[in-house]
Each structure stands twice: as structure tokens, then as C-alpha cells.
Amino acid sequence: MKIREAIVLAGGLGTRLRSVVPDLPKCMAAVAGKPFLYYVIVYFQKQGIEKFILSLGYKHEIIEEYIAKEFGNKNFIFSVENEPLGTGGAIRTGCNHSTEKTVLVLNGDTFFKVNLDKLAPFHQICGAHCTLSLKPMKSFERYGVVQLNKDYSIQDFQEKKYYDEGLINGGVYALDVLKFQQENLPEKFSFEKDYLESLYTQRRIFGVIQDEYFIDIGIPEDYERAQRELIGRCEN
């Protein structure tokens, strides 16, 4: 199985970056001369994604104009929210534009070099409703931890605090489109809280460990780190 379509959550305001980034959607923050979103798109194009469904909100025109200029609009669909729907509502709306059984879900402000040739067959073999890409980390407190059962189904989600080591949710998912659309969830909801953390004991939700490069530019320190690290990262 190949995953050919991706929903990219790109509606974030980037309020914590205001001290270092002008008034832009967070994914458009400049990194080494290009918007952060560029690195995400180019890497996943190389991984086989042929169609990108961009879930947009805040200042969506800026992203639309950039995509048209940099990539052309041929393989891009813009799913624009008139009001914030939460990550869950945004993904569900994005699913309406998908034509595949399985869609990749990404965050436009996170770059996780997930290997789709590992994620896709795992998702299929497990018959998963959703498969999380998990990043091993050491000495952190910014993220919660995901614990797995022996069959790689989700055992538990642990809250944010200091951990010596653990697996974090890297924000890259393989999602069964139809199963997700059938969920009885409100119009506005959090994918993480109201779907994953509320339903993991009742649905086929799994995690696959990917010890690959990961960066989230949500805070100024990591945004500055991205300036040094991302050059060339999306090229291979």
C-alpha cells in the first residue's frame, strides 16, 4: 500500500513566535530563506505524496499565493475554515477532499522525517483506524508520552511533564478516511484530545516508532534551531 494524499494542518496563528516572526501563519515562518512549509512539502513529495490538502484559516491568502508561486496549484487543494474548527474539525473537513482510503495527516509547523514505506504497510497490516508516528526522545518536558502495548496498539497517553526518555506523538498520522468520517464527534473538536485520547481503547489506534529527524517550530528556541538544521534536510 502507498499513501498518496496528505492533509496538512496549516491554519495556526503562531502566537508564541511573534517575538521572532512577523504577523504570518506559523507554517510560513521563514527558515533559511524559505517558508517552513516548503521543507514539509518537498520532503513528503519525495516520499510519494502526490496530492496535498492544505487546511487553512488565519491569513490563508498568504499560503495560497505562496503555493501557486512555488509549486503551482495542480496538486494542491485549499480547505479554508471560516471559523476555527479545532484540529479534528479541520482534518474531517480535509477528508472531504480525499479520494483515497488512507490519508496522511501532517502539521504544517512540524517537520518529522517519517518513512512512509514503513508507516503505510504497518497501518494496513494492523487494520488500523489511525496510526501514530512516534519519536523517541530523551530529557524533555514539552511533550506528553505515548505508551504502547506489545502489539503496538496504544496503551496510554501520559501528560506533559519532565521525562528522562519516552515516545512522543510526532504529529504524523496514517488515517482511515471512512472510519474517521463515521465518528460521532462535534463540529469543532481536538483530534488529539477528543479522538485519540478519548477513543484509543475503543478503536484500532496504533503507534509505529520512527527514530528520525524531528523539529517543531512552535517556540522561538526551536525556530532558531531550525535555521541551522533544516538546510538540505528535505532533500533526502
Give the CATH number, domain containing residue 103: 3.90.550.10
What pTM did the predictor assign? 0.94
Q: Are 19 and 74 in contact (CB under 8 A)?
A: no
Residue 67 lies in a domain: yes
Q: Name the DSSP class of 192.
A: I
Residue 36 domain-assigned? yes
> Is the residue at 139 inside a domain?
no
CA dist., res. 13 & res. 18, Å (int)? 9
Per-residue pLDDT of the chain (236 residues), as tens digits, is 999 999 999 987 656 555 666 678 889 988 988 999 999 999 999 999 999 999 999 889 999 999 999 998 789 999 999 888 999 999 999 999 999 999 999 999 999 999 999 999 999 999 999 999 999 999 999 999 999 999 999 999 999 999 999 999 999 999 999 999 999 999 999 999 999 999 999 999 999 999 999 999 888 888 889 988 987 666 65
Query: Looking at the domain assignment, is residue 93 inside a domain?
Result: yes
Considering its fold, how many domains does the chain have in total? 1
The identity of residue 44, as a single letter, is F
Residue 51 near residue 77, CB atoms below 8 Å: yes
Residue 49, helix vs strand vs coil: coil
Q: Are strands 163-176 and 102-107 parallel, antiparallel or unpaired?
A: antiparallel
Residue 106 lies in a domain: yes
Has residue 225 been placed in a domain?
Answer: yes
Task: Let me know if residue 141 belongs to a domain.
Answer: no
Which domain covers residue 40, as residue numbers? 5-132+171-206+214-230
Residue 148 lies in a domain: no
